[in-house]
């Protein structure tokens, strides 16, 4: 059971069906399922197969590194598939931590803001090259998933961890999308933007990637530690300028990026020869599983997109308008995936984009002539706050808010959706860390 408070949330058959769809989607992209499907290992011949591509390891050793919300679970499954005796050493950073494996160390580091534990752990990863004399015949398996940008901090010289923490907070609140945020982060890191693969060359670096990024851009997921980086210092500077952060950002950050623009700091690598990337899980896989479950329940599904983006409230209002106009007439379930971006005021309340989306939908969907339901959840189980994955609302929710004397519009304006739903009750979706992360999934059930 993925949703821990499902009994509290199930106040109607419609809600029960929505919860089944969400759980089917998350279950499909759990790392254990994705790894078992994608990774095979012939121990006698020392042949590793990833998504049908085979790698010969008979002349070298296997090491494991990586970071992301799903990386700890990925590491456990990888060690099970390969066998501990096949791995020389490894270390991965994840959000929720966990017990060390036989050969792979699991580190709990800071997210969404990087911390000192993450920095020290990355240093330990990089120290393996000299400690084990890693060379051409060896293989680095890099386990990457959403959240890796924060969980794999390695600041450049001249930029402190405190600087990285401050600029991360500013970027998360200013309305920048994940591509823009990671353009800046790549140019403040020694390992992002292809830096990890460059560091471990000439060893082969094989990345197993679970995507949390709209469009599955490999150079954006976890800031692409083993992917050539198409962005430049000038792009990073433009992001700071676009969102008015040149005056707010730490001086060390601005100075370093300015030096990069002048050619005084080395660019991120634009070419790499030792990297191999495999996307083993993404949002569309979750939506396909949800659609299959809907059909099993006798509901006709429509996958609208797995690339939802843009402002959270605007997207919710726009889709509600389309629904009320009858654009999706004949479908019982609308399925959407991706990640919107709220622009927060200086003094925002509690809640994340999924809770905010559900709150906006409470008002936007009023007037629809038949019963309706909207549920929005982060597949990682954390909607910017621990344990709360998102929220579920339906045609009865506006009345419940009025009975409780809650001004929904006021809570929306203050970005305080978590307080709103906590006071309403029977609305917050509680999962705890799911062990995976492929952005958000949304369900509309109509009529």
Task: Judge whether residue 286 has pLDDT over 80.
Answer: yes
The values of phi and psi at residue 97, to 5°, are 70, -150
pLDDT category of residue 345 using cuts at 50, 70 and 90: confident
Q: Please check whether the two domains, 6-28+283-446 and 31-281, share a CATH topology.
A: no
Share of the chain above pLDDT 70, in %: 100
pLDDT at 173: 86
Q: Which CATH number fits the domain 6-28+283-446, given the four candidates 3.40.50.12780, 3.40.1480.10, 1.10.287.70, 3.30.300.90? A: 3.40.1480.10
Task: Tell me the sheet residues that pair with 48.
Answer: 41, 55
Lowest mean per-residue pLDDT among 154-163, 170-179, 371-380: 170-179
pLDDT at 385: 85
pLDDT at 321: 98
Query: Do 223 and 189 touch, CB atoms closer than 8 A?
Result: yes
In tens, the pLDDT along 194-221 reads 999 999 999 999 999 999 999 999 999 9
User: What would be the CATH architecture of the domain defined by 31-281?
Assistant: 3-Layer(aba) Sandwich (3.40)
pLDDT at 15: 98
Which of the listed ranges 97-101, 316-320, 341-345 does the model predict with the highest average pLDDT? Answer: 316-320
Which DSSP symbol is given to 59? T
pLDDT at 380: 93
State yes or no: cis peptide before 399, omega within 30 of 0. Answer: no
390 Cβ neighbours under 8 A, 6+ residues apart: 352, 354, 355, 357, 358, 375, 376, 377, 378, 383, 428, 429, 440
Q: Mean pLDDT throughout 113-137?
A: 97
pLDDT at 94: 94
Task: Tell me the sheet residues that pair with 207.
Answer: 142, 277
pLDDT at 55: 97
Task: Judge whether residue 274 has pLDDT over 80.
Answer: yes
Q: Mean pLDDT throughout 410-439?
A: 96
Domains of the chain, residue spans: 6-28+283-446, 31-281
Biggest CA pair distance of the chain = 70
The CB density around residue 196, as the number of other CB atoms within 10 Å, is 33
Q: CA–CA separation, 281 vs 394, rounded Å?
A: 30
Task: Judge whether residue 344 has pLDDT over 90.
Answer: no
> ∠ CA 424-430-433 to the nearest 5 degrees?
150
pLDDT at 5: 97
Query: What integer best gives the mean pLDDT of the chain?
Result: 96
Coil/strand/helix, residue 420 = helix
Task: Judge whether residue 1 has pLDDT over 90.
Answer: no
In tens, the pLDDT along 52-92 reads 999 999 999 999 999 999 999 999 999 999 999 999 999 99
Task: Identify the CA nearest to 285 among candidates 222, 379, 144.
Answer: 379
Q: Mean pLDDT throughout 325-352?
A: 93
Task: Tell me the sheet residues that pair with 143.
Answer: 66, 208
């Amino acid at each position: 059971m993925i949703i821990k408070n499902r009994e509290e949330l199930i106040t109607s058959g419609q809600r029960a069906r929505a919860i089944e769809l969400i759980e089917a989607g998350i279950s499909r992209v759990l790392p254990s399922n994705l790894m078992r499907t994608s990774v095979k290992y012939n121990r006698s011949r020392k042949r590793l197969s990833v998504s049908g591509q085979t790698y010969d390891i008979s002349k070298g050793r296997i090491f494991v590194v990586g970071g992301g919300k799903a990386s700890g679970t990925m590491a456990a499954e990888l060690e099970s598939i390969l066998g501990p005796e096949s791995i020389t050493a490894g270390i991965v950073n994840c959000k929720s931590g966990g017990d060390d494996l036989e050969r792979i160390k699991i580190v709990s580091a800071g997210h969404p803001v990087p911390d000192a534990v993450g920095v020290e752990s990355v240093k330990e990863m990089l120290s393996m090259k000299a400690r084990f004399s890693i060379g051409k015949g060896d293989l680095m398996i890099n386990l990457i998933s959403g959240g890796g940008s924060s969980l794999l901090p390695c600041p450049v010289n001249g930029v402190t961890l405190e600087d990285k923490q401050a600029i991360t907070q500013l970027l998360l609140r200013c309305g920048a999308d994940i591509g823009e945020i990671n353009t800046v982060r790549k140019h403040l890191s020694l390992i992002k933007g292809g830096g990890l693969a460059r560091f471990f060359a000439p060893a082969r670096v094989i990345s197993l990637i679970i995507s949390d990024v709209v469009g599955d851009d490999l150079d954006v997921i976890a800031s692409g530690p083993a992917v050539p980086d198409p962005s430049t210092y000038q792009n990073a500077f433009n992001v700071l300028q676009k969102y008015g952060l040149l005056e707010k950002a730490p001086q060390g950050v601005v100075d370093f990026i300015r030096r990069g623009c002048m050619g005084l700091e080395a660019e991120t690598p634009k070419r790499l020869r030792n990297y191999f990337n495999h996307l083993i899980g993404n949002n569309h896989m979750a939506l396909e599983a949800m659609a299959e479950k809907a059909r099993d329940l006798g509901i006709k599904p429509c996958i609208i997109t797995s690339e939802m983006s843009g402002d959270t409230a605007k997207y919710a209002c726009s889709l509600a308008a389309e629904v009320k106009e009858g654009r999706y007439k004949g479908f019982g379930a609308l399925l959407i995936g991706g990640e919107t971006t709220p622009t927060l005021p200086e003094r925002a309340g509690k809640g994340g984009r999924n809770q905010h989306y559900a709150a906006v939908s409470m008002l936007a969907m009023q007037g629809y002539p038949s019963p309706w339901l909207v549920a929005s959840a982060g597949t990682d189980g954390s909607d910017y706050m621990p344990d709360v994955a998102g929220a579920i609302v339906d045609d009865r929710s506006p009345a419940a808010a009025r009975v409780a004397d809650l001004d929904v519009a006021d809570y929306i304006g203050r970005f305080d959706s978590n307080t709103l739903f906590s006071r309403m009750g029977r609305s917050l979706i509680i999962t705890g860390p799911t062990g995976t992360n492929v952005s958000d999934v949304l369900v509309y059930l109509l009529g």
